[in-house]
Amino acid sequence: MKKFVFAASAAAIAIAASAGAATAQSRDTIQIAGSSTVLPFASIVAEEFGNAFPEFNAPVVGSGGSGGGLRQFCQGTGDNTIDIANSSRRIQAGEIEACNGAGVNEILEVQFGYDGIVFAVSADKEDFALEPVHVFKAIAAQVPVDGEMVANPYTTWNEIDDSLPNQPISMAIPASNHGTREVFEERVLVEGCEAAELPEMEEEAMEAACTALRQDVVIEIAGDYTETLARLQSNADTVGVFGLSFYDQNRDTLKVATISGIEPSLETIAAGEYPVSRPLFFYVKGEHIGVVPGLEEYVSFFLSDQMAGEGGALEGAGLIPAPAEETADVQAKFDAREAITADQL
Amino acid sequence: MTDLSQNASPTDGSQARLKRIRAGLGKRHAREKRFRLYGIVAIAAALTFVAILFAMILSKGLPAFQQATLTVPVTFSQELIDLEPRPVRESGQSAADFRAADLRWQRDVTLVNWNRVVEDAVRSLAPGSEISSRDLQSLIDSAERFKLRDAFVANPNLLGQTVDMQLLASANADNWLKGNINRDLPDSQQQLSAPARALADELYADGNIRMAFAWHIFTNTDSRSAPASAGLAGAFMGSLYMMMVVIVLAVPIGVASAIYLEEFAPKNRLTDIIEVNINNLAAVPSIVFGLLGAAVFINYFRLPLSAPIVGGLVLTLMTLPTIIIATRSSLRAVPPSLRQAALGLGASKTQTVFHHVLPVTYPGILTATIIGVAQALGETAPLLLIGMNAFVASVPGSPFDQSTALPVQIYLWQGNENRNFFEARTSAAIIVLLALMISLNAIAIFLRSRLERRR
């Protein structure tokens, strides 16, 4: 036992010592975190990158939502901070300030394609033809009735509009840690709010009225789309908010709703017809270029035709490719190391 | 009493007493029977739940160990693989130059249109079919082109030859053949196109596609671009490194502090406080240790993100109280006579502890260690906070490399968007993790019974 204790403590010391040694040497694997919408795309690129460039390690891709990823990104520079933050929305001025405060000044923005947000129900349910105003009236805390704001009285969809099915209102939407939530509010709730013709009020009150949700029928999902899908399976009346790529892979169990008469698909989103779509981003820490090997190559590889381009691997996974000129622009900006600043937003 | 039993005509009073005793006895027996019944019901309920759990996991997970695999003659045609021969190190060439040339050659090999090689191979099995190349590609897992590349890099002499190779069918083809996706659904709701589905059925009927044991679950890492070839190797190694860190750190520290506290430390206020706090520590939720790990090990000590070393350190903190408490209680269970005898024969305190007391407690310490480690093996929450839920496409070579862990891999697969395929995969990963746990516990029981017998 004595020998064992001795050997074990020797091993413990050795581990601690090597811990010190390892932190002294710099990291050679790109570390990425952020949006769960971007995660599948970034993971595919990471995997293919590892295969295509035998001299670099495959990057490591973590999740945590757009906000979580950018918070990690803005913790500072150095080996124990991430190199790239994936985001399904643009970085905010406050986040840039936080970054600058921690010594991250060279934030390089890369926009690489589009994603659609779809509303879906279980496949055995009736068709939904939604308008933004329907969604607003279904889930807003207060809705206008005869020019007065009253607590939301609707219980079934057909009370809002006769064209909608007679189905109890229940909706699973992404929680505020997801970038998807912001797009949902901006493109659906606010639009619907305007169409609902709220009585005159101050701007701030209006904004609050547009995004305040009733809690009895709205389920906020902090996890990923699988959790939303589980909600639909446990309560078949639920309408869920998904990414187009998730819906695409689960077409056998989900049925998609049209928005303003347009069915979401690669084509309608690429053409800009489907209203609820958003660009996807990742942010590269300029300070780490040249320190962590492979960062520049990763960005070029990501933007290359075989990945984010038309007919590339990411299109197969549900990404809507950006036009080639747009991508070339992004690449040129990245090559010129044009950092984004708070007053550009 | 003897009077009572011998008396032929007992008095009314004793009769009543007898009745009362009988009635009371009956009640007591009934109470005992009831209690036993409760016990049996409780055990039956517990067993039923365990049985349901296992039945569900096994029925869902076992099919994932069988995967649709296509056996196909692959031609490494000269036409498609138009390359220089692999560089050979010339005399006078520096090692770095040679390595660069070799890497360049490997990159060229990667750029060969391997998809086309795969396509030609599959087409040779269905010569009459007019299936489009996109549909045909959708049947084969997209990582299989790297299998061909690796085979070629390993043996460049394959150029121009035709060899039989086993290629994994894609996840969607696997779903279709296994019936994981409803086969009656219309085209618009299917993942594969109608010609692709027909070809898959044809190849399956001909015996070209077979259900083969999916060894790659154990040898491959996780994969997003080619879900059919996703495996557990990376997560398994990550868990293994963490277990090593836990064993190397938690056991010596835990046992040493338990011995000191139990055998040497003076009994005063301070040691009381320490003891209470160790017990408190054992009850701290694991997620709190994760937060601590992120704040201390990553932000302060600057250890790498997503690395098993950090996970191991966090789990060490979590396991320490378990080991200390269990070791102390087994030390306390050693009869004082043993210590007194050793001390009486002139052994020092240290000799008494290490030569006589400690050996008796080995089975207890061992059990505590293995149970603590098994508990740590299944822990997920703290790992999420130190970034071990990342997607990692390579097997970690050391505890400092980024990696996932088995329970985290289950969590990640559970969230994968290809539900039809990954539902089974998730259960398969659970089976692997449970098998590991059960074998760890079996080792604990085996070692304990052996050590106890030797004593």
Phi then psi for residue B207, to 5 deg, are 85, 5
Which pLDDT score is estimated for A12? 54
- Residue B34 structural domain: 2-62
The verdict on B139 and B44 lying in the same domain is no
Contact assignment for A47 to B400 by CB distance below 8 Å: no
Q: Are B393 and B307 in the same domain?
A: yes
Average pLDDT over residues B111-134: 86
Please tell me whether residue A285 adopts helix, strand or coil conformation: strand
- Listed by start position, the domains of chain A span 28-115+278-344, 116-277
- Mutation target among B110, B182, B391, B413 for the A interface, most CBs of A within 10 A: B391
* pLDDT tens string B370-397: 889 998 999 999 998 888 888 998 899 8
**Residue type at position A50:** G
Report B:144-163 residues touching A (Cβ under 8 A).
146
- Where does residue B390 fall: left (phi above 0), alpha (psi -120 to 50 degrees), or beta otherwise? beta
Q: Is B134 on the interface with A (CB under 8 A)?
A: no
Q: Which two tokens mark A243?
A: 């990414």
- Assigned token pair, A192: 């619907």
Instruction: Spell out which residues of chain B touch residue A253, defining contact as CB-CB under 8 Å.
Output: 419
Q: Do A250 and B419 touch (CB under 8 A)?
A: yes
What average pLDDT does chain B have?
89
Contacts of residue B150, Cβ cutoff 8 Å, sequence gap at least 6:
none
Residue A103 CA to its chain's centroid (Å): 25
Q: Which of A116, A6, A67 is nearest to A283 (CA)?
A: A67
> In chain A, what residues touch B110 (CB-CB under 8 Å)?
51-52, 54
- pLDDT at position A42 is 94
Alpha helices in B87-214 (DSSP H): 95-111, 114-125, 133-137, 144-154, 171-178, 194-206
Residue B64 has pLDDT above 60, yes or no: yes
Which of B224, B257, B282 finishes a domain? B224
Q: Are residues B208 and B238 in the same domain?
A: no
- Chain B residues within 8 A of A250 when measuring between CB atoms: 417, 419-420
How far, in Å, CA of B319 to CA of A286, rounded?
A: 40
pLDDT for residue B26: 87
Residue of chain A minimizing CA distance to B186:
A252
Question: Is the pLDDT score of B232 beyond 90?
Answer: yes
How long a stretch of residues is chain A? 345
Minimal Cα–Cα distance from B284 to chain A, Å? 24
Tally of domains within chain B: 3
DSSP single-letter state for residue A189: I
Partner-chain residue, chosen from B146, B181, B417, that has the shortest CB–CB distance to A40: B417
pLDDT of residue B1: 46
Do B266 and B167 lie in a common domain?
no
B75 closest CA partner among B110, B140, B125: B125
Give the residue ranges of DSSP H helices in chain A.
2-24, 39-52, 65-73, 93-101, 132-139, 157-160, 179-184, 190-195, 203-211, 225-234, 244-249, 266-270, 295-303, 313-316, 324-335
Q: Is the domain of B325 the same as that of B180? A: no
Q: Which candidate, A45, A63, A110, A44, places its Cα nearest to that of A225?
A: A63
Confidence class for position B58, pLDDT limits 50, 70, 90? very high
Cα(B322)–Cα(B257) distance, integer angstroms: 12
Quick one: pLDDT at residue A84? 95
Q: What is the predicted pLDDT for the residue at A112?
A: 92
- pLDDT digits 0-9 by tens, A218-252: 999 988 888 899 999 999 999 999 988 889 889 89
How deeply is B447 buried, as exposed, middle or buried, from its count of CB atoms within 10 A (0-12, 13-18, 19+)? middle
| Contact between B57 and B430 (Cβ < 8 Å) | yes
- Minimal C-alpha gap between A93 and chain B (Å): 25
Last residue of a domain, one of B28, B46, B62: B62
pLDDT value at position A20?
Answer: 46
DSSP 8-class letter at B263: I
Q: Is A192 helix (H, G, I), strand (E, B) or coil?
A: helix
CA of B20 vs chain A CAs: smallest distance (Å) = 57
pLDDT class of B230 with cuts at 50, 70, 90: very high
Which two three-digit tokens encode residue B353? 């502890």
pLDDT computed for residue A23 by the predictor: 45
Residues B285 and B427 both lie in one domain: yes
Closest in A60, A80, A225 to B417, CB measured: A225
Tell whether B155 and B290 lie within a shared domain. Answer: no
B188 vs A contacts (CB less than 8 Å): 251
What are residue A113's phi and psi, to 5 degrees?
155, -175
Are A60 and B188 in contact (CB < 8 Å)? no
Rounded distance between C-alpha atoms, residue A102 and residue A74, angstroms: 6
B75 touches chain A (CB under 8 A): no
- Buried-exposed string A107-118: b where 16+ CB fall within 10 A, e elsewhere: bbbbbbbbbbbb
Q: Please name the member of A44, A79, A250 whose beta carbon is closest to the beta carbon of B304.
A: A79
Residues B389 and B242 in one domain: yes
Length of chain B counted residue by residue: 455
C-beta atoms of B302 and A229 within 8 A: no
Which one of B389, B417, B418, B421 would you mutate to disrupt binding with A, by most A Cβ within 10 Å of its Cβ? B417
Residues B126, B242: one domain? no
Shared-domain flag, residues B34 and B114: no
- What is the dihedral sign for C-alpha B334, B337, B341, B346? positive
Q: Which residue, A119, A147, A342, A336, is CA-closest to A242?
A: A119
C-alpha distance from A54 to closest chain B C-alpha (Å) = 7
Task: Let me know whether B210 and B238 are in one domain.
Answer: no
R_g over Cα of chain A: 23
Instruction: Round to whole Å and give the CA distance between B314 and B329.
Output: 24
Of B181, B249, B391, Cβ closest to residue A252: B181
Give me the residues of chain A with pLDDT under 50, please: 1-2, 17, 19-24
Nearest residue of B to residue A253, measured between CA atoms: B189
Choosing from B165, B189, B224, the residue where a domain stops is B224
Check if B115 contacts A (Cβ < 8 Å). no
Q: How far apart are the first and last CA of chain B?
A: 50
A106-115, B37-46, B203-212, range with greatest mean pLDDT: B37-46
Q: Would you say B159 and B96 are in contact if contact means Cβ atoms under 8 Å apart?
A: no
Distance from CA of A265 to the nearest CA of B (A): 12
**How many angstroms separate the CA atoms of B425 and B409, rounded?**
10
* Residue A238 main-chain phi, psi, to 5 deg: -75, 140
Nearest by CB to A39, which of B305, B391, B420? B391
3-state SS class at B168: strand
Q: Which of B255, B299, B306 sits opposite A60 (nearest CB)?
A: B306
Q: CB atoms < 10 A from the CB of B233, how many?
A: 17
CA-to-CA separations, B59 to A345, B300, B425, in angstroms, rounded = 53, 46, 12
Task: For domain A28-115+278-344, give its CATH number from 3.40.190.10, 3.40.1350.10, 3.30.465.10, 3.10.129.10.
Answer: 3.40.190.10
Specify whether B97 is located in the same domain as B44: no
A to B CB pairs, distance under 8 Å: 141
Amino acid at site A323: P
CATH no., domain A116-277: 3.40.190.10
Q: Which of B256, B390, B393 sits opposite A50 (nearest CB)?
A: B393
Which residues 6+ apart lie within 8 Å of A175 measured at CB? A181, A220, A221, A222
CATH of the domain at B300: 1.10.3720.10
Q: Does B103 touch chain A (CB under 8 A)?
A: yes
Q: What is the mean pLDDT of residues B15-37?
A: 90
Residue from the list B251, B358, B394 with its beta carbon closest to the beta carbon of A50: B394
- In the predicted structure, residue B4 carries a pLDDT above the cut 70: no
User: Residue B422: what pLDDT?
Assistant: 92
* pLDDT recorded at residue B57: 94
Please tell me the distance from the alpha carbon of residue A181 to that of residue A22, in angstroms, as a whole number.
40
The per-residue pLDDT for A15 is 54
pLDDT value, residue B99: 86
**Confidence band (pLDDT; 50, 70, 90) for B93?**
confident
